[in-house]
Amino acid sequence: MPVNLPLIDPAQLHAVAGVRWGIAEVGVRKAHRKDLSVMLLDEGASVAGVFTSNRYCAAPVQVCREHLTQGSAVRALVINTGNANAGTGAPGVAHARQTCEALASLLQCAPAQILPFSTGVIMEPLPVDRIVAGLPAALADAQAAHWAQAAEGIMTTDTQPKAASVQLSIGGKTVNITGISKGAGMIRPNMATMLGFVATDANIDPALLPALVKALADGSFNRITIDGDTSTNDSFMLIATHQAGHAQITSLDSADGQALFKGLMQVARQLAHAIVRDGEGATKFITVQVEGGRTGEECRLVAYAIAHSPLVKTAFFASDPNLGRILAAVGYAGIADLDQGLIELHLDDVHVVSQGGRRPEYREEDGQRVMKGSEITVRVGLGRGTASDTVWTCDLSHDYVTINADYRS
C-alpha cells in the first residue's frame, strides 16, 4: 500500500490545450495491459527534457537526446512499458529508431519529430514489431481527456497511477499544468526520474524551457530516492503548447514567470513525491532535511547518505528509534573535515542529539512516538554554515525484497 497517496481522480486532471494522449494494449511483455502510450502535440509546441546520467543509458534515451539536439519541432512522444530497451546494444538503438519511423510515417512528419521512451525490464530485446503494429490503435484512441489513462499506460511496478494537475490564471487567461510520472524501484534520479511528463498550455518563450526543466527536476525528481539505483531510462519532459492565449512570458523572474514556475514545481514535486509514496514496499514517507552546511552539495551528500542507508531504512520500517544509525550515515557521508561535536539531530519535534551526543533529556519513548507515524522528518544540523537541502525517501521493508526478488517472474 502506498503511503498516503490518494487514487487519482480523472476529473481533476485538467486537459492541456494542444495535447492528446492515446493508449493501446499491444502485449509488450504481458497481454491485456495498457502498455503503449502516444502523446500527440499540436504544431507549435515546445519540448525540453533532462535524462539519466547513467552511462548505460537506454537506447530510447540516446535517440531522444539526438532528436532534441537536432531541434526539430516535436510532434509526438511514444512510450512503451514492459521493456526498457536498455543494455540492448546496437539492435536496441535500431529498434528505437524503427519505432520513431513508423509513428512519423503515420503522422506524416519526420522521424526526428518523434521522441521515444521505454520502461521495464533491462537487457531484453524490444518486441518492436508488436509496438509498431499497435501504433494505429493508440492514435485512434487519442483524446485531450486521456491523462489518467496515460498515467496507467506507463506503469511498471507502480501500484497506482501517478498524476498531478493545477490551474492558474495568467494575464486573465486560464493556464493548465498537468503531468504524469511512473516509478517505484530503481529510483535515485540523477537528472530526472524514470519517466515524468509535465505539459502546460502556458505561452512561454521556448528558449526558457531547457533551464526551466532543469530547475524543476532539481526541486523534485532530483531530490528523491528509493533504493539508490539510478535507472538507465530516467527521463523528465516538459511540454509547453503556448495555447493559453496570454502574452508570452519572456522571463522567469517576472510575476507571471514566477507564478508559472510555482505551478509547475507544485506539479513536479507532487509527481516526485508520488513515486516515493509508492516506493517498492514503502510504509513510510521520510523527509530528510540537512541544514547548517557550507554548501548545498554537502547537505545533499549527508541527506542521501541517510536516505540510502539500509540500516536507517530498516529501522524506520520497524519504527525503532535506533537513531545512532543516522549519526553513522552522517559520519560516512563524505565531509572530510566534519566536526561530530557540532551535530544536531531532530526527529520531527523531538530534539535527540546536541553537540554530537545524545541529549540527557531525550527519552526513547519520544523517538518511538515519532517513528510510529507514516510521515517523518529527520532534521540534521551540521553547524558549519548556512546552506541546506532536502531529500525525500521511504523505508526498506520485507515487501521491497519480495517485490524485487519476484519481479520478472
Question: Which positions are annotated as active-site residues?
Answer: 193
Q: Is 292 an interacting residue with respect to a copy of itself (CB under 8 A)?
A: no
Counting beta carbons within 10 angstroms of the beta carbon of residue 131, is it exposed (0 to 12), middle (13 to 18) or buried (19 or more)? buried
Which residue bears the cell 524543476?
A: 216
Minimum CB separation of residue 346 from a copy of itself in Å reads 14
| Nearer residue to a copy of itself within complex by CB, 103 or 323 | 323
**Contact call for residues 366 and 338 (beta carbons, < 8 A):** no
Q: Which of residues 53-92 bind a copy of itself (CB under 8 A)?
A: 53-57, 84, 86-92
Residues 31-60 touching a copy of itself, rule: CB under 8 A, are: 52-57
Q: Confirm if 232 and 57 have CB atoms less than 8 A apart.
A: yes
State yes or no: 372 annotated in a binding site: no
Give the type of residue at 299. C
Provide the strand spans (E) within 252-405. 285-293, 344-347, 350-354, 357-358, 375-381, 387-394
Judged by CB under 8 A, which stretch of 31-39, 159-167, 243-251, 332-340 contacts a copy of itself?
A: 332-340
Positions 188 through 227 that interact with a copy of itself (CB under 8 A):
188, 190, 227
With residue 137 as reference, give the H or E element that holds it.
helix 128-140
Q: Is 374 in the site for a copy of itself (CB under 8 A)?
A: no
One symbol per residue from 333 to 352: x for binding a copy of itself (CB under 8 A), - otherwise; what is it? --xx-xxxx-x---------
Among 122, 208, 244, 380, binds a copy of itself (CB under 8 A): 122
Interface with a copy of itself (CB under 8 A), residue from 73, 107, 123, 139:
123
Nearest residue to 184 (alpha-carbon basis) of 81, 290, 328, 42: 81
Binding to a copy of itself (CB under 8 A) within 102-121 occurs at 121
Does 178 belong to an annotated binding site? Answer: no
Q: How many CB atoms lie within 10 A of CB 360?
A: 7
Nearer to a copy of itself, 167 or 402 (CB): 402
User: Do residues 344 and 380 touch, judged by C-beta distance below 8 A?
Assistant: yes
Known binding-site residues equal 156, 182, 193, 280, 404, 409
